[in-house]
Structure 1
Amino acid sequence: MSLYHHVPNKDAIRVRASSARAVLSRHSWALGLVDSRRNPGPATLRHHDAVLGVLRRAGFTLPMAVHAVSLIDSYIGGFVLQEANLPASGEVAEVADDILEHLPPGEFPYLAEVITGHAQRPDYDHTSEFDYGLDLILEGLEARRR
């Protein structure tokens, strides 16, 4: 059984992570403020308590629940920072073309392979990597929960 079968609404963690990413993407200036206050407000406390509750009810030990929150929050924050600095989805192929044009031939074979075989595809959207990474994290946490 996956983690999804143990949490309310089947995918509460996924919804929470995607929601947090969306909000922080719109307000990236807030990323450094979210957990930096010594006395967090009631909304922050309710949020953390709810997430910990989901994890504890799913069978995570207290230390594993803390690890899970830290891992998920770090992933969301890191992705938001990276996303803010990457080109918009429609510009990826153009940026990839420019990088490829300036790569010394044969010096970066794996990077060239990623550009030509992945980033230049018309259907490639680097923002979709968030869901893939989140799935890996949730699968890893589920394995540790058992």
Structure 2
Amino acid sequence: MDGAVDALPRAPLSRDRVLRAAVARADEAGLDALSMRKLAQELGVVPMALYKHVANKEQLLDGMIDVVVAEIEDPAPGAGWKAAVRQRILCARRVLLRHPWASQVIESRVSPTPATLRYLDSMIGTLRRGGFSVDLTHHAIHALGSRLWGFSQEVYNEPPGGEADPRTQALMLGEMRAHYPHVTELAMAVSHDDASVVGPGCDDQFEFEFALDILLDGLDRLRDLHGQPGGVFAERPTRPVPGT
């Protein structure tokens, strides 16, 4: 070969390659760093080449979510409905922790993507096979909400930036206690002992699993009651039709 080194052939551009490159870039630099132009540069193609595989940025984001949701593993064979739902939700949480931008995109979607529909269909199927009626399954999906995808909306987010100096903190605490005593009491109580299973401060994973288990235990009790004479949904009031 006269000392020449053959260049490795470039992998052909495909929708899957485009989507996985976009996911990797968002993982590394965040959604703000993702653009069709930068993605094309990373793939070594002109931007127009991308549009043969994704029509626009919104379609790109849809495809990225499908890649992420496909990483959620199936539950262990033979698991009961509660174990299966818990396993998949906690797996979904691990997946979203690997892709911290994904929850924002999931919340922004107007229409469900194919992968999200398949995932939701399988979760509904797990509940139905576990003895849930269609009506109770409907309520269960609403109750679980975004936890199905491994995240939940907190009451409030922690403010950015570092802590204030002790004097400022004391003044702020005094103002808070004077006007919002119960909020202050709760805020002061979240600094757990180091030996606590939760650890110092609020543990997001613990709080997520705490709420998830409460929901699953409650749904389990409702499943047993549902359909019995006088059961919890036996005489559910219907909403009046406006104008009647």
Evaluate the alpha carbon distance shift between residue 12 and residue 63 of structure 1 in structure 2; reply closer, same or farther with a 3 A threshold.
same
Q: Distance in 2 between matches of 1:84 and 1:106?
A: 21
Aligned to 1:110: 182
1:140 alignment partner, one of 213, 218, 222: 218
Coordinate RMSD, CA, aligned: 3.5
How do residues 1-146 of structure 1 correspond to structure 2 at under 5 angstroms? 8-10=78-80, 11-25=83-97, 26=100, 27-33=102-108, 36-37=110-111, 40-41=113-114, 43-75=115-147, 79-82=151-154, 85-86=157-158, 94=163, 101-103=171-173, 104=175, 105-119=177-191, 121-122=193-194, 123=199, 124-127=201-204, 128-146=206-224
CA contact (8 A) 1:17 1:76 kept: yes
Deviations 1:51-82 (A, max 9, x none): 11110111100111122122212445795443
Q: Distance in 2 between matches of 1:49 and 1:63?
A: 15
Letter in 2 for 1:66: H
Shift of 1:33: 4.3
Q: Which has the larger radius of gyration?
A: 2
Shift of 1:134: 0.6
Q: Which runs of 5+ in 2 are unaligned?
A: 1-76, 225-244
TM-score (norm 1): 0.68
User: What is the total number of aligned residue pairs between the two structures?
Assistant: 132
CA contact (8 A) 1:24 1:31 kept: no
TM-score (norm 2): 0.44
Q: Distance in 2 between matches of 1:99 and 1:23?
A: 37
Q: Which runs of 5+ in 1 are unaligned?
A: 1-6
Q: Distance in 1 between matches of 2:142 and 2:94?
A: 18
Deviations 1:4-47 (A, max 9, x none): xxx9424111122223334345223322245x316x31x22321
Q: Distance in 1 between matches of 2:184 and 2:117?
A: 46
Shift of 1:101: 4.4
Identity percentage of aligned residues: 29
- The runs of 4+ residues in structure 1 deviating greater than 4 Å are 75-79, 97-101
Q: Distance in 1 between matches of 2:215 and 2:169?
A: 30
Q: Distance in 2 between matches of 1:73 and 1:115?
A: 26
CA contact (8 A) 2:89 2:149 kept: no
Q: Distance in 2 between matches of 1:76 and 1:107?
A: 37
CA contact (8 A) 2:136 2:223 kept: yes
